[in-house]
Amino acid sequence: MWRVTGHDWVVSLLKGSIAEERVSHAYLFTGPPDVGKGTLALNLAQALNCLGEDKPCNECEACRKIFAGIHPDVRMVDLHYQALLRDETPAEQKELRINTIRSITQEAGLKPFEGRRKVFIIQDADRMTTKAANSLLKTLEEPPPHVILLLTASDTRLLLPTIASRCQVFVLRLAPAEIIEEELRLRHGLDAERASLLARLSGGRIGWAICAARDDSILKDREDTLRELAVLPKMGRLDRLDYAQRLVRKSDLMRETLELLLSWWRDLLLIRGGSPETINNLDSAASLEEDAHGYDLWDIVTFVKAIRRTQRELELNVDPRLALEVLMLDLPARSN
Ligand SMILES: [Zn+2]
């Protein structure tokens, strides 16, 4: 059984290709962070090597080994893997380097050890350096017959077009809140109220919702961050610049914080636009309501655009400090 939520059309296409033995040698799954790209790739790796009837059965030796990350023919390549290879910490890994890709292209030349196919899952392929991407191209162009490459990427603009053009591409969209809510209730045993809250807060990212269901500190950290973000507009220029610099130093939290900032300001926009029932941050409805009427509508629209612009700039490797400082200075003043 596929453990993928909200991407039924992709699953049925993949099932069909496996049943008819029309499997591509390379797939690229793109979509926002935590939308389920990695889970889908892992499930596909299982289905390709599954020994059971209804693939992936999740019960045979191959499925279990792949899920546990110990199958000799399925290699998960990500920044953690690279850290192990280089004997460094995961935090030191900013991009996927050529030596990491070389290690898998060499391994791809070997016959499968116990499975039917060798599968390489390259997570965050958009983080490959140009050299690394070029070295992967050769394998993508002429892969050994037993090799299948599964790439995931959040931002395809950072991928070489020649990489994407050699893969079958599936674009994964954010899942509707109802589907995530149902998943949390039925498969993860959450009560209706908590399932509904986490589904809305997730903004369509199933991976985030499942992590938050398992780990209470995620919601707590989120609340702390929201409190900080709420006072930003009341702070002076220097304090806001100082906040930008602190955020840059906590680089691993920078994207998540910006995502939260965006969800807050988008909710303000929804309230001012007369659709308060569709806000994401359900648990902060009262503060949002109060906040929304403190700003000019046009200022809210402009700032939502500024947050999106900043997110794009960060993905394109603009100096984060500069991008965040500009954003902090763009924060609108309250009109009352
Ligand atoms: Zn199986």
Per-residue model confidence as pLDDT tens digits over 91-104: 788 899 999 999 99
Q: What is the pTM of this model?
A: 0.80
Of the candidate ranges 62-71, 243-252, 285-294, the one whose mean pLDDT is the lowest: 243-252
Ligand 1: distance of its center to the CA of 312 in Å? Answer: 40
CA of 167 to the centre of ligand 1 (A): 25
Distance 74 CA to ligand 1 centre (A): 14
In contact, 279 and 267? CB cutoff 8 Å? yes
- State in Å: Cα 61 to ligand 1 middle: 7
Tell me, in angstroms, the distance from the centre of ligand 1 to residue 148's CA: 18
d(CA 8, CA 241): 44
Residue showing tokens 């959040």 = 154
Compute the distance between CA of residue 156 and CA of residue 170 in angstroms, rounded to an integer: 11
CA-wise closest residue to 310 among 325, 323, 322, 328: 323
Tokens of 217: 């500190």
Q: How far is CA 303 from the centre of its chain?
A: 24
Cα–Cα distance between 254 and 57 in angstroms, integer?
A: 38
Q: Is the pLDDT of residue 336 over 70?
A: no
Give distance in angstroms: CA of 40 to centre of ligand 1: 15
**Average pLDDT for residues 25-35, to the nearest whole number?**
93
String of DSSP letters for 268-326: HHHHHTT-GGG-S-GGGHHHHHHHHTTS-HHHHHHHHHHHHHHHHHHHTT--HHHHHHH
Query: Structure tokens of 182?
Result: 């149902």
Ligand 1 centroid – CA 139 distance (Å): 27
Alpha carbon distance 198, 208 (integer Å) = 9
Look at residue 335 and tell me whether its pLDDT is greater than 80: no
The rounded mean pLDDT for the chain is 91
Residue pair 57/43 in contact (Cβ under 8 Å)? The answer is no
Residue 37 reports pLDDT greater than 90? yes
